[in-house]
Amino acid sequence: MGYLSDSAAVAADLIFGFDPEVYGIVLTSLKVSVSATVAASLIGVPLALLIALNNFWGKGLLRLLLNTLMALPTVVVGLFVYALIGRAGALGGLGLLFTPAGIILGETLLALPIITNLTLVAVETLDPRFFKTCRSLGGSAVRTARAALYEARLGILAALVAGFGRVVAEVGVAMILGGNIKGFTRTMTTAIALETSKGEFALGLALGVLLLLVALLVNGALFALRRRA
C-alpha cells in the first residue's frame, strides 16, 4: 500500500511539474491517435453514407462483416500490418515500420470499422421521414447524403469519439508497429506497459491518469455538444 501511495506522490509530481518526458509521450499519443481518427473518418464516414443510402446485394453481409471487425483484436491488426510494412512486406520499401506513420496506418485500420459502423447506424436510424422528405423535395443522392451528415451529426460525432477512444487506449498496434522507441514512437499505453514491467509504477500511473483525463475531455466535449443541440 505504501509503495502505491509513494508512486502516486511521484506521479502527481510528474503531472503537475509538467515533466517533459511525460508530456512528450502524451503528445506523441495524441498526434498518432488524432491522425488515425481523422484518416479513418475521411474514409469511414463517406463509406457509411454510401452504404446507408444505397440498397445493393450483400448489404447485410457487409454489415455483419463490419460488426465483426469492430471486435478486431489490436494484435491481429498489428500482425497484419507488420507483415505488410515489414522489410519483407509489400510496402516494406516505404520504411514505415517503427515510425509514427506505421502506428497511424495500423490504428486507422482499427478505427475504420468502428467509425464506419457507428456512422452507418446513426444515418440509418434517422427518422424515416427524412429520406421521404429529401426525395419529395427532389434531393439528389449527394444532397441527401450531405443533409444526412448534418442531421445525424451528433451520432456521427459519437462514432468519431468511439473511434478515437479505441485507438488512444490500445496498446497492441502501437507496440508491434511502433516498437516503443523513446521520444519517437512511445505512446501513453506502450509506456505504461513498459514501466509496469520494469516495476516503475510512478510514470505508468501518471500516464494512466493523463490518459483518463484525455478520455474525459473528449467525452465531455461530446456531452456538451449534445446538450446544446
Partner 1 sequence: MKGSVYQLKGVSYTYEGSGAPALDMGELSIRGGEVTVFTGPNGSGKSTLLALLSLDITPTKGELLLFGERPVPSRHRRRIGILDQHPYLFDTTVRANVEWGLRARKMVDGMDGQVGEVLDALGLSSYAERRARKLSGGEMQRVALARTLVLNPDILLLDEPTAHVDASSRERIESIVMEWVSREGGTAIVTTHDLALAHRLGGSAYRLQDGRASQTGVDNVFMGHFVGGVGGLFDTGHIKINVAGKRLGEAVTLRAEEVILSTHHLESSVRNNLYGVITDVSLGDGGLLMVTVDCGERIVASITPSGWADLGVSVGERVYVSFKASALRVIE
Applying CB under 8 A, which residues contact partner 1? 127, 129-130, 132-140, 143, 147, 150-151, 229
Smaller CB separation from partner 1, 136 or 197? 136
Question: Residue 149 CB, nearest distance to partner 1 (Å)?
Answer: 12
Question: Residue 31 CB, nearest distance to partner 1 (Å)?
Answer: 34
Q: Are 175 and 101 in contact (CB under 8 A)?
A: no
Smaller CB separation from partner 1, 134 or 167? 134
Complete DSSP assignment for 196-228: HHHT-HHHHHHHHHHHHHHHHHHHHHHHHHHHH
CA pair distance 56, 50, nearest whole angstrom: 11
Smaller CB separation from partner 1, 135 or 182? 135
Cα atoms in the Cβ-side hemisphere of radius 13 Å centred on 159 = 27
Q: Are 161 and 122 in contact (CB under 8 A)?
A: no
Three cell numbers written together for 159: 462514432
Q: Are 167 and 188 in contact (CB under 8 A)?
A: no
Smaller CB separation from partner 1, 64 or 137? 137
Q: Return all residues near 110 (Cβ < 8 A) that are at least 6 apart.
A: 36, 72, 74, 77, 166, 167, 170, 173
Smaller CB separation from partner 1, 54 or 136? 136
Question: Residue 49 CB, nearest distance to partner 1 (Å)?
Answer: 16
Question: Residue 150 CB, nearest distance to partner 1 (Å)?
Answer: 7
Question: Residue 157 CB, nearest distance to partner 1 (Å)?
Answer: 14
